[in-house]
Structure 1
Amino acid sequence: MSVSVTFNEERLAELAAEETRRLVSEGVHEALAGGDPALWGEDAHAEAAIRLGWLNLPLTSRELLPEIGKLVERTRAEGLDHVVLAGMGGSSLAPEVICATADVPLTVLDTTDPAQVARALGDRIERTVVVVASKSGGTVETDSHRRIYEQAFREAGIDPAGRIVVVTDPGSPLEQSAIEAGYPVILADPNVGGRYSALSAFGLVPSALAGADVEQLLDDAAAVRPLLAQAEGNPGLELGAALGAAAAAGRDKLLLEDSMSEINGLPDWIEQLVAESTGKSAKGILPVVGADPNEADDELVAGIDSDGSVTVSGPLGAQFLVWEYATAIAGRVLGIDPFNQPNVTESKENTGALLSAGELPSGTPALVDGPVEVYGAEAEGAKDLIEVFTRLLHAIPERGYMSIMTYLDREAAFDVPVADDASFEEMTDAWSAADPLTLRALLAHRTDRPVTFGWGPRFLHSTGQYHKGGPQNGVFLQITGANETDIEVPGKPYTLGRLQLAQALGDQGALVKRARPTVRLHLTDRAAGVARLLQAAREL
């Protein structure tokens, strides 16, 4: 089964057809399918020349299957059925979608929250295998997770060499240290960027260990691959032309709808692919996940097997490849290099500087509302959280957006006690009442502008590029929280909690530097703080 792209709106179909004709007349479809790095201009040529390996992954990744198969056999024979993935951005989002769709369990660690990491550490350590995935080999979050798990295994009397699998690029510092430690190493294609790596070792290794059928994933991608060289019946070209032409015409908010899809969580993966690929040079397409349309003239609704202005249908492996191709096409249409990420390092450098400086400069709150401390110039003189929220909503520009960035434990809401005889509806209501994600819907209800939500530092490896490099029309609400317990990072002069706060402050500094309205809410008591945030939002 291949991928189909259906236009359900006449004007969008006309725009897409017109742009497709132009692209075909320029030979773009054949050039991209053939891996031509000149498609995005002279400035992008050098980067594109080493970033187009994803086009051939449906074929080249098959070479990994025997090695992956041996790993799967060994871990199953040893009874290792708790698979933990330590990875960020593209290294975690694709496996998360693959495993959720296959309905196989995978614990994803793309966080520096001590409570969330502690929960994973306390879960079946005697049956745990950890996949440490980092393209560069130096990702601070993933390096921290590796160090913590190495210590945890040793304390449990377990040799880490039998429990840690490394996925990285050839020649990375992680490859060398893993070889020295005796860890199995599977090398990924170095000519594939992180956000285009779904069908590479980064997507396949943890998914296969968890129990997903990764060979079928490659089969489905391979089935659509020949279509991407065609002038007609090319779903990647049609989708990319639509995304690029719509954004160029002002419809640059991409609402992703998947309520009818059997694929679980694909919008989260698309979000990082599109935002990080296009959000630069003050341009870009802003993906919006989990939101209802406002019928605004800058919105474009894309349905994954669901209704939308454009509907994209097909199996997951094929969807991965088509969306990657389409994003590269949209970059060409918008005059953007879809393979670099010039602003991602800014927050990383800010974080590093803060960690080196000693005490973190958290500042003095502009106000305190119960268990919530409020920081930021936009909150000066406000009497309570309700006024802070009101100010931020009013500060969203005419064609702008609000982003909620939450540095907390994204699984904490599921710890809320519910009665043994509670119905599913009662359980979900209890979880929702304790979940910071609920704030997105409450604030979105009070504005006609899109409200996005990201878990930190996860979003720094995806939409964080758009926040800083894309159109400067965002308003930012950051949420941090006090840690009841913390975890030392072995061999480093910081804890996870300190790293987490430094990441939040570092990104806040990058946003404030751009004169964007930015407020940080710090929860001195996490559970009570979340309850207060939701209460205030309901009272707006």
Structure 2
Amino acid sequence: MDVTYREEGVAEAASSVAARLADAPARLAAGEAALWGAAAEPEAAVRLGWLTLPRTSRELLPELDKLVERVRAEGLDHVVLAGMGGSSLAPEVICNTADVPLTVLDTTDPQQVRRALDDRLDRTVVVVASKSGSTVETDSHRRIYEEAFRSAGIDPSDRIVVVTDPGSPLEQAAIEAGYTIFLADPEVGGRYSALSAFGLVPSALAGAEVSELLDEAEEMLPLLRLTEGNPGLALGAALGGAALAGRDKLILEDQLSEINGLPDWIEQLVAESTGKDGKGILPVVAAEPTGARDELVVAIESDDGDVRVDGSLGAQFLVWEYATALTGLVLGVNPFDQPDVAGAKDNTARVLEQAPVAAEPALVDGPVEVYGETHAKDLSGVLTELLHAVPRDGYLAVMAYLDRLAAFDAPVPKDADFEQMTEAWTAADAQTLRALLAVRTERPVTFGWGPRFLHSTGQYHKGGPANGVFLQITGAVTADVQVPGKPYTLGELQLAQALGDQRALTERGRPAIRLHLTDRVAGIAHLLAAAQEV
């Protein structure tokens, strides 16, 4: 594992915090929770288990091997992971890198959930993963799959595997239902859990060689005790030092890497760990550097960045976790809590409990309704307003509560080649909006699928620097899914999550506009056309 400074400013920034980090390796190796100060010590005392996961997680492997063997023998080749945040992002990277199929449900979009339900239910095994055991999205997925299995004459206890912390409500429900259970280390926070049961169980079921990940990470353990030649220390000093010097927009570049999707995992780890108390580092994924003074470009196995990070996936997981914990120390924040996440959850619950109120849009432009304060006359004017509202040290966050696979339904020409298919998909993808807006501003533009991002950058949005401008996109639901045992549907939950987060943002004085697509396909096309007119 190598961390290389490729720009003089990075070396200077890292050197500026060296004294503060001088004793950190020894104190971390000793599991010293007081490293981050007295206020953080109670939380840190029960959140350092990730430091030994490369060894302790090996205890899971014999039982996991038996489960994999049983699942294969029964012909269950469709693995669905119901999990949010740290419970889904690491397995997604592991499986994409290993090129093994995994269906990830980190959404409340009815259309996307229906896709998974309609795909080989008779050959499906579902991993229900939640650290707290009460995550509303994951609880909804569990209930929906239980009903689907029973309706198909399948015993859910043969098809559902639970990963959770000891003593959680989900563990109790799983015991009562007779599900296979893997208990995770309770002293590992969700975003630091890549090498725990949360990362390993679904990945192994999908076909990844998870023991290799542990081998790769374990090779790092001796290095992380050192003050010289310690890749975690080098990366943490670069991230923290650069942020203190004003370079707090982390551009993640991985185009040449054989590791597939690591920036999405890093985004959650860094944003949720550092984005609090008005401080933090904003990761920006899938973006081209602009040369702005507040950018730090970190490249995964590429020479394009200010910092180059090379290493296997297991090593990357552990070193980034280590570096992020040290970055919290440099910035003076607790890297293990998420104090601003609860507000959006509470608001969501309140929206679900209230009788629906039909709000009037501020503007209607074709299949797009605009909600929020705007003086614009059309949709391109709304987008222009948002870009102008971004402060010179700020960013624009686009958050789409939609089916992230919908673009693949776009019609393609008969006998189309891959380039033509990609063009058709791009023209129907809400995520294309990020690129269209990014070329029209010098400020960073991020993109998140809702509610997935609420368990990732959502903490930074509300707890980090107050320099963000927010654009939500919601869409009409034509075929909803009832959540069994609950008084709401997935579509109602999805909209409540959007409204709840918008309220949490505006309560903190952070501008937010919501675009509602009355027709999703036409709405995306109209929105992308409007962006091209900005």
Partner of 2:162, secondary structure, is strand
The equivalent of 1:23 in structure 2 is: 21
Q: Distance in 2 between matches of 1:487 and 1:114?
A: 6
1:286 equivalent among 264, 267, 282: 282
Q: How does 1:339-378 map to 2 (within 5 A)?
A: 339-359=336-356, 361=357, 363-377=359-373
The equivalent of 1:459 in structure 2 is: 453
Cα deviation, 1:397-431, whole Å, max 9, x if unaligned, reads: 01000000000000000011213411110000000
Contact 2:248 2:294 in 1 (8 A): yes
Name the count of aligned residue pairs: 533
The one-letter code matched in structure 2 to 1:7 is: Y
The equivalent of 1:83 in structure 2 is: 79
Contact 2:103 2:116 in 1 (8 A): yes
The equivalent of 2:325 in structure 1 is: 328
The equivalent of 2:466 in structure 1 is: 472
Cα deviation, 1:338-374, whole Å, max 9, x if unaligned, reads: 0000001110000001111121x45210000000000
Once the two structures are TM-superposed, the CA of residue 524 in structure 1 deviates from its matched residue by 0.1
Once the two structures are TM-superposed, the CA of residue 10 in structure 1 deviates from its matched residue by 1.2
Cα deviation, 1:183-224, whole Å, max 9, x if unaligned, reads: 000000000000000000000000000000000000000001
Q: Distance in 1 between matches of 2:456 and 2:281?
A: 13
2:136 equivalent among 123, 140, 143: 140
Q: Distance in 2 between matches of 1:17 and 1:264?
A: 31
The equivalent of 1:271 in structure 2 is: 267
Partner of 2:473, secondary structure, is strand
TM-score (norm 2): 0.99
The one-letter code matched in structure 2 to 1:212 is: A
Q: Distance in 1 between matches of 2:162 and 2:353?
A: 28
Contact 1:89 1:194 in 2 (8 A): yes
Q: Distance in 2 between matches of 1:21 and 1:172?
A: 41
Matched, 1:250 2:246: yes
Contact 2:33 2:44 in 1 (8 A): yes
TM-score (norm 1): 0.98
Matched, 1:98 2:103: no
Q: Distance in 2 between matches of 1:33 and 1:451?
A: 38
Q: How does 1:122-201 map to 2 (within 5 A)?
A: 122-201=118-197
The one-letter code matched in structure 1 to 2:6 is: N
Once the two structures are TM-superposed, the CA of residue 21 in structure 1 deviates from its matched residue by 4.3
The equivalent of 1:514 in structure 2 is: 508
Q: How does 1:468-507 map to 2 (within 5 A)?
A: 468-507=462-501
Contact 1:20 1:237 in 2 (8 A): no
The one-letter code matched in structure 2 to 1:274 is: V
Once the two structures are TM-superposed, the CA of residue 388 in structure 1 deviates from its matched residue by 0.4
The equivalent of 1:406 in structure 2 is: 400
Contact 1:20 1:238 in 2 (8 A): no
RMSD: 0.7
The equivalent of 1:317 in structure 2 is: 314
The one-letter code matched in structure 2 to 1:387 is: G
Q: Which runs of 5+ in 2 are unaligned?
A: none
Q: Distance in 2 between matches of 1:324 and 1:447?
A: 32
Cα deviation, 1:145-165, whole Å, max 9, x if unaligned, reads: 000000000111100000000
The equivalent of 1:60 in structure 2 is: 56
The equivalent of 1:9 in structure 2 is: 7
Once the two structures are TM-superposed, the CA of residue 470 in structure 1 deviates from its matched residue by 0.2
Which aligned runs of 4 or more in structure 1 are off by greater than 6 angstroms?
A: none
Aligned sequence identity (%): 73
Once the two structures are TM-superposed, the CA of residue 35 in structure 1 deviates from its matched residue by 1.4
Partner of 1:312, secondary structure, is strand
Q: Which runs of 5+ in 1 are unaligned?
A: none
Contact 1:301 1:310 in 2 (8 A): yes
Partner of 2:321, secondary structure, is helix
Once the two structures are TM-superposed, the CA of residue 519 in structure 1 deviates from its matched residue by 0.4
Contact 2:13 2:245 in 1 (8 A): no
Q: How does 1:192-271 map to 2 (within 5 A)?
A: 192-271=188-267
Contact 1:95 1:203 in 2 (8 A): yes
